[in-house]
Chain A
Amino acid sequence: MNRQTDDLIRRLARDVGAGAARRPSVRIRLAGGAGACVPLLIGLVYLLFGWRADLVPALSIDAVLLKLVIGAGLAAAGILIACRLAEPGRHRMPTVGMLAGAAMAAPFAWLLSRPDPAGTMSTQAGDGAICMAIIFGLALLPMALLLRLARSGAPTRPGLAGMAIGLASGAMAAFAYAFACPMETAGFVVTWYVAAIGLAAALGALAGRRMLAW
């Protein structure tokens, strides 16, 4: 037994004797943080852009529903994965999260196979880029909060954990922005919403590698 290591162990053991009060687990913090972010984001969208006037009837439009479904589904998947990755020894992606991700493909395929009722991609390209930028900007808020919360965990794959958090943040922002966004073609949603969420996930991965390493 190495002397230095021996000393270290003794010091650590003395430290635990002090009996630190246990904080809520990182999983609870992440889920709670995400839960708090959703109403905040929806409120923020209301303040910045106002909800679309025809919000209630719009819910029957496929593309609008699709935004909400994608947003909620990917947000849930991202948070589930992040919760798993935040604790050592639970590496495997949760089946639920993976299934939620896979299930996203079904409504896409269905909607894309139908002709677009209104507008074409080309006329909306400019608006789409703005939409994407707004969603990405909104995503920064929950991302910052969730990354902070995740630091109390111990992700053994910091990049991947950051990516899951970015994914969840982007998806939450997309969900919230759907309350304001007037676009209603499936192609639009697929392109710009998914691009925004993807960007958020990429940024999360980069940030995670730096912020979540320990």
Chain B
Amino acid sequence: MRSASKGDAAEYEWLLRDIAAVLRITVRRRLSAYGLNPQEAEDVVQEVLLGIHQKRATWDESRPITPWVHAIARYKTVDATRRLGRTRRLQVDLPFEDWVEGFADPNSPDSTRRLDAETLLATLPERQRRLVQALTVEGATVRNVAERFSMTEGAVRVALHRGLKRLSRLANAAEDETGLETGR
């Protein structure tokens, strides 16, 4: 870092590489400890590197560098963990494919829920319906659908989640009604 402040790019590059290597391991561990997707770790590592770079003037050369790097890494990681935790709540908790399989199979042998998936689907708004249908009934991949609807993959997942939630609400409401009828 000292040579970096004198403008030695090569030394600086080595330093960042070292930091990145250590970070990758610790961040991944932290993310999985919080039940988040460890694949996001690379993004967090990049955030930390950027932070270090932007704020490199705040390192006092007379002090050891480790606590300084550590503090930045911690700050950025906590930040990212919070952000990821927040977005995750909008998304599906289970692995995505399990969710779809367990949920919207129209031929589900589950006898208590003999609901016509098609009818329910028809009650969704047009765009949402097409999206859910593509993913569940036609079995398209998220990427594929994202391209077709020109959305990001994350947005597709969120939209699917919302659609399914809506469907399940409708399904429950329908079930309540039938329950009342048989009770009569």
Contacts and interface: CB of A to CB of B under 8 A. Distances in A.
Interface stretch (B49-57, B121-129, B132-140, B141-149): B49-57
B33 interface: no
B67 A89 contact: yes
A15 interface: yes
Interface residues of B, number: 37
A25 B57 contact: yes
Contacts of B75: 88, 156
Contacts of A86: 58
Of the candidates B6, B13, B57, B74, the one having the most CB atoms from chain A within 10 angstroms of its own CB is: B57
B58 A26 contact: yes
A13 B72 contact: no
B72 A88 contact: yes
B53 A25 contact: no
A17 to B, nearest CB: 4
Interface in A10-42: 10, 12-20, 22-23, 25-26
Contacts of B16: 9, 12-13
Interface in A139-163: 152-154, 156
Interface residues of A, number: 31
A29 B151 CA distance: 46
B58 A25 contact: yes
13 contacts: A2-B42, A5-B20, A5-B45, A9-B16, A10-B13, A16-B7, A17-B9, A86-B58, A88-B71, A88-B72, A89-B70, A153-B55, A154-B58
Interface of A: 1-2, 4-5, 8-10, 12-20, 22-23, 25-26, 86-91, 152-154, 156, 214
A-B pairs with lowest CB-CB distance, top 9 = A88-B71, A19-B7, A89-B67, A154-B55, A13-B13, A17-B9, A89-B71, A156-B75, A89-B68
